[in-house]
Amino acid sequence: MSFFKKIFSSEKKETLDKGLEKTKSSFFGKLSKAVAGKSKVDDEVLDNLEEVLVTSDVGVETTLKVIDRIEARVSKDKYLGTAELNQILREEIAGLLSETNIGEATEFTIPQDKKPYVIMVVGVNGVGKTTTIGKLAYQFKKQGLKVVLGAADTFRAAAIDQLQVWADRVDVPIVKQNMGSDPASVAFDTLQSAVNQDADVVIVDTAGRLHNKVNLMNELTKVKRVMKKVVDDTPNDVLLVLDGSTGQNAFEQAKQFTAATEVTSLAVTKLDGTAKGGVVIGISDQFKIPVKYIGVGEGIEDLQVFNKHEFVDSFFK
């Protein structure tokens, strides 16, 4: 099928294949047991398949959609063999992800008409938020773009220190204040500095905790409001970072943050260390928010632009 054509470089594709290895091994191990001794896709196989998808962290709602699609094909074709199930699953999951215009890009890009392009990053501590910011800064700088970082996750001194380490590593400027400072004040200073430096991209680190939804909402709303005073129409992207290895907890965090602020894109990290990569399929489908980036390794190049065609291809390879 045309949407399975290779569009990543062979090196990037190899990294993606390797990063999804644990998920693939777990998923297809379960799938083999689900169809053992069966030649036809019947109700029992579908029940077993439903369990495989749910326990692979695809999520209940998305699983039911996939099962409904396969049931429709079984009733239309009258007979489907279990040997064809891999291909059918591949086609239906790709079809599901293709219903929304997400995961189409192959390279790190920003709109040309927004300068500076402001990315506000949210997510709880420990999900790989700071690492994602550092790797993003690296990718944008590699394209010749001028990047400024803002350390507005001021609740922990470690968060500021970690971002400083990445700023030094990538060699980009960082704007920071002391721990406990007002996050909105840091965001304001960051944007002013970026404008003065004629920067192309600003990445602001915020909200490393879900202390409660009301406080979080107030804090993020204030940060946004203050940024608009410097550059109208900002932030241009509110990026929520989720740890893919937490499975269903990633769904819960997505619910919490989307309730607290307008999230416009997602990054799912740590997929290489987990068998829960199916979470990307469920989150893409359920939240209708584009998964822009996925983390498939610890190296600085191992943050990739999420492309649904390549993801499905690697998943079913």
Which residues are part of a known binding site?
Answer: 123-130, 205-209, 269-272
* Residues making up the binding site for GTP: 123-130, 205-209, 269-272
Burial of residue 259 (number of CB atoms within 10 Å: 0-12, 13-18, 19+): exposed
